[in-house]
């Protein structure tokens, strides 16, 4: 694969300008070339929150308005300059930016109400994140059922044949899926293939053809999913109604010896309550990729042997950046051609009534 930095000094004057955070270095050269015929890219390298906000202000001052701001993730940057709020992107928004397209499925780091009320689309990258997150979730469910982290610790410590806590049989276990969006459905597909019974809780019921495909998955109430799940896996976005969805009271209502898996967002679980439930044995094991106060992990989780802990890396495989950066650019391309990105998470208020043709930047 060719890695092609985009030029920050394209000549064409009449092309709409697009500001990017980092280079889309993993995108196929031909695709990038086609987009460079449509727009003029300006690149800034990400920094801390305040420093990035200043770089954005400087870019606007120097170049005038940008039609879009694209955020490309890079491995070398360990921390993100978020939150993506008025302080970070206010200068862009005020200068007429219509689209912010960002790598990543979650968008809790962006002030969506601010963007919506200022007429700006926010687009995420659900497709590239979904497959990797679902694959990692399946792996973590199997790890937690088998107690592989405890067994590995035994092996490393030379403890042989320690069968105090035997693996649970995947084929005789029920997985409860909270949130049946793209990721939840892929997890259902994976775990059905492993022979698990699937139950799910979601805002709305899936078409019966989907339920059939997942081995007659059952749509259940929130209370029912707590008491019937052997493994509970969370795939909801983080918002005010899902913050601490799992808390002291819900843990108390779950079946004894439940397994908790979370690859969505940490604050969906009240971590203190989870630690208590792991200590009491109410929760047999937890497999987590996300934490309430990232990048800090609760000391009680680190200490516990019955946890499998990953550093928010469920999506991180060798090809994610290529797919994610391409998905960000596809959002831009769709927006330029139709006035709407492929995967908007909001409907900007001032534009809700406009016809999409009215917003096209490219005929």
Judged by the rule CB under 6 A, the positions of this chain that interact with ligand GLV are 104-106, 129, 315
Q: With 0-12 CB in 10 A as exposed, 13-18 as middle and 19+ as buried, what is 121?
A: buried
Sequence-distant (6+) residues with CB within 8 A of 353 are none
Residue closer to ligand GLV, measured from CB, 265 or 361: 265
How is residue 179 written in tokens? 């949130």
Taking each helix axis as running N to C, give the angle between helix 126-146 and helix 182-193, from 0 to 180 degrees, rounded to the nearest 10.
40
Residue closer to ligand GLV, measured from CB, 217 or 314: 314
How is residue 153 written in tokens? 């610790």
Our CA angle for 343, 346, 349, nearest 5°, is: 135
Cis peptide before 83 (omega within 30 of 0): yes
CA 222/CA 201 separation, integer angstroms: 6
Counting every residue written for the chain, the total comes to 363
Residue closer to ligand GLV, measured from CB, 188 or 321: 321
> CB of residue 220 vs ligand GLV: minimum separation in angstroms?
26
Pick the catalytic residue: 49, 86, 312, 333?
312
> CB of residue 177 vs ligand GLV: minimum separation in angstroms?
18
> CB of residue 99 vs ligand GLV: minimum separation in angstroms?
18
Q: What are φ and ψ of residue 211, in 5° steps? A: -60, -40
Of 44, 35, 31, the closest CA to residue 15 belongs to 35
Q: Catalytic residue at 312? A: yes
How is residue 328 written in tokens? 């960000």
> CB of residue 225 vs ligand GLV: minimum separation in angstroms?
23
Residue closer to ligand GLV, measured from CB, 104 or 176: 104
Q: Are strands 99-102 and 68-71 parallel, antiparallel or unpaired?
A: parallel
CA 29/CA 359 separation, integer angstroms: 28
Residue closer to ligand GLV, measured from CB, 92 or 321: 321
Rounded to an integer, what is the distance from CA 227 to the centroid of its chain? 27
> CB of residue 104 vs ligand GLV: minimum separation in angstroms?
4
Pick the catalytic residue: 80, 265, 351, 361?
265
> CB of residue 10 vs ligand GLV: minimum separation in angstroms?
30
Which residue is listed with tokens 């679980």? Answer: 269
Largest CA distance in the chain: 71
Q: End-to-end CA distance of the chain, in Å? A: 31
Residue whose beta carbon is closest to ligand GLV: 106
Sequence-distant (6+) residues with CB within 8 A of 209 are none
Residue closer to ligand GLV, measured from CB, 67 or 129: 129
Pick the catalytic residue: 37, 212, 279, 294?
294
> CB of residue 105 vs ligand GLV: minimum separation in angstroms?
4
> CB of residue 83 vs ligand GLV: minimum separation in angstroms?
14
Residue closer to ligand GLV, measured from CB, 60 or 105: 105
Please count the other Cβ atoms lying within 10 Å of the Cβ belonging to residue 338.
Answer: 15
Cβ atoms 38, 336 nearer than 8 A: yes
Q: Catalytic residue at 265? A: yes
Residue closer to ligand GLV, measured from CB, 260 or 321: 321
Residues with a known catalytic role? 265, 294, 312
């Amino acid at each position: 694969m060719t890695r092609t930095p985009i030029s920050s000094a394209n000549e064409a004057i009449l092309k709409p300008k697009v500001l990017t955070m980092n280079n889309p270095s993993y995108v196929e050269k031909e695709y990038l070339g086609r987009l460079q015929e449509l727009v003029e890219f300006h690149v800034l390298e990400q920094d801390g929150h305040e420093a990035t906000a200043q770089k954005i202000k400087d870019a606007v001052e120097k170049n005038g308005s940008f039609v879009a701001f694209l955020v490309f993730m890079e491995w070398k940057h360990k921390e993100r300059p978020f939150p993506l709020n008025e302080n970070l992107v206010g200068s862009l928004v005020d200068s007429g930016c219509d689209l912010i397209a960002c790598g990543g499925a979650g968008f809790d780091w962006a002030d969506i109400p601010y963007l919506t009320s200022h007429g700006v689309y926010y687009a995420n990258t659900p497709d590239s994140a979904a497959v990797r997150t679902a694959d990692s979730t399946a792996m973590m469910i199997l790890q937690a059922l088998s107690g592989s982290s405890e067994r590995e610790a035994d092996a490393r410590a030379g403890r042989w044949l320690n069968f105090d806590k035997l693996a649970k049989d995947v084929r005789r276990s029920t997985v409860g899926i909270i949130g049946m969006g793209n990721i939840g459905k892929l997890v259902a597909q994976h775990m059905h293939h492993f022979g698990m019974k699937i139950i799910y809780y979601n805002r709305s019921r899936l078409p019966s053809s989907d339920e059939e495909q997942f081995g007659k998955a059952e749509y259940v109430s929130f209370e029912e999913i707590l008491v019937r799940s052997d493994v509970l896996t969370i795939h909801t976005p983080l918002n005010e109604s899902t913050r601490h969805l799992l808390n002291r009271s819900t843990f108390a209502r779950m079946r004894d010896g439940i397994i908790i898996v979370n690859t969505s967002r940490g604050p969906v679980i009240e971590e203190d309550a989870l630690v208590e439930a792991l200590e009491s044995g109410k929760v047999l094991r937890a497999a987590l990729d996300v934490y309430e106060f990232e990048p800090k992990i609760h000391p009680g989780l680190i200490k516990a042997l019955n946890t499998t802990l990953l550093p928010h890396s469920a999506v991180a495989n060798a090809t994610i950046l290529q797919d994610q950066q391409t998905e960000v650019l596809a959002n831009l391309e769709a927006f330029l051609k139709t006035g709407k990105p492929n995967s908007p998470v909001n409907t900007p208020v001032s534009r809700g009534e406009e016809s999409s043709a009215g917003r096209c930047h490219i005929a």
